[in-house]
Amino acid sequence: MIEKIQKMLAEVADLHAQTAEEAEALRIKYLSKKGEITALMADFRNVPAELKKEVGMRINELKNAAQEKINALKEAAAVQKAADTAEDLTRTPYPIQLGTRHPLTIVKNEIVDIFSRLGFTLAEGPEVEDDWHVYSSMNFADDHPARDMQDTFFVEAHPDIILRSHTSSVQARVMEKTQPPIRVICPGRVYRNEAVSARAHCFFHQVEGLYVDKNVSFTDLKQVLLLFAQEMFGPDTKIRLRPSYFPFTEPSAEMDVSCTLCGGKGCSLCKGAGWLEILGCGMVDPAVLEANGIDSSVYTGYAFGMGIERITNLKYQVKDLRMFSENDTRFLDEFVSAN
């Protein structure tokens, strides 16, 4: 009987099961009321008295080994089943929809592409900036009232560190490291402390351009902006420039384009005026050139800046600025064909 127990011990050690059902079948085979180990225990009464102690110990060893092995097989099968059927509850449900570019990205890329074909290169800079690059280098004096034009987010522990309120800071960084000729386009996110509404947000996106070289004139600026407007809104687009004021340009102007909806005849979009304002521009103030290490007696330049949300609104008739940052897939799906 001892040989039979040893043979069954080796058999139990070599048991395998892929599923919980197979493990349960093994339990029935060896440990149920009609199982093989139970049958051995029933034969125990026929064992000679002098062998009962040893045989009893061997039967208990076999029973414990079988229970441990079958329990281990059941646990392994349960773990494998959980792994095979596990679901990621954060996963997008089937069918998985393909994404699309954000409308602001679409328009930004189009703007950058137009100006790159006009000879401008891409320049980028940090969103967390210092006062010098955002204001002082752009001809904003410490007590200049023009600072009130842009409500700034300051870092409380470091009042000299701010979230940039315009991408002119990128122009400053380019000028202080590069001598003319300079021709760059600077897209990026900017921040202003404004109440969020359908027409304003505490963050938005700008594209600014800068050209500095010898003998740069306002005529050069006007021609570049006309070409941009006709590329962006159509070949029949007209522009007009109105005198304005910016601390970093002199003279300065606001640029309007003929209404993209009515072609200048007057409609609800342009409020009957026939014109839509899209950007500010002007000749770079000599003080800005000098502050950034460029000789204003040798070089002149122009600069311009526009809001990407503004251009997107005009191009796609988006009424509410908040829709750009709400990640509503129904809204984003409308721009699939624009990619």
β-strands 121-122, 182-191 pairing: parallel
Per-residue pLDDT band at 320 (split at 50, 70, 90): confident
Secondary structure (3-state) at 172 = helix
**What's the confidence (pLDDT) of residue 148?**
54
Secondary structure (3-state) at 59 = helix
Q: What are 34's two structure tokens? A: 């009609």
Q: State phi, psi for 185 to the nearest 5 degrees.
A: -120, 135
Residue 321 CA to residue 14 CA, distance in Å, equals: 69
Quick: pLDDT tens for 49-71: 777 788 778 778 878 888 888 88
β-strands 182-191, 203-213 pairing: antiparallel
Residue 83, pLDDT above cutoff 60:
yes
Rounded to whole angstroms, what are the CA distances from 114 to 102, 119, 214, 233? 19, 9, 23, 12
The stretch 102-115 carries a mean pLDDT of 93
Residue 103 CA to residue 101 CA, distance in Å, equals: 6
Which of the two residues, 78 and 40, has the higher pLDDT score? 78
Quick: pLDDT tens for 139-173: 887 776 655 555 777 787 787 888 888 899 999 99
**What's the confidence (pLDDT) of residue 14?**
85
Range name among 77-91, 186-200, 304-318, 319-333 with the lowest pLDDT average: 77-91
Q: Which amino acid is at 214?
A: K
Residue 230 exposed, middle or buried by CB count within 10 Å (0-12, 13-18, 19+)? middle
Instruction: With CA atoms as reference, report the closest residue to 251 among 284, 273, 280.
Output: 284
pTM (2 decimals)? 0.68
Rounded to 5°, the CA angle 253-259-262 comes to 160
Distance of CA 155 to the CA centre of its chain: 23
**What's the confidence (pLDDT) of residue 267?**
80
Strand partners, 277: 256
**What's the confidence (pLDDT) of residue 92?**
66
Report whether 250 contacts 258 (CB < 8 A). no
Residue 322, pLDDT above cutoff 90:
no
The stretch 214-225 carries a mean pLDDT of 96
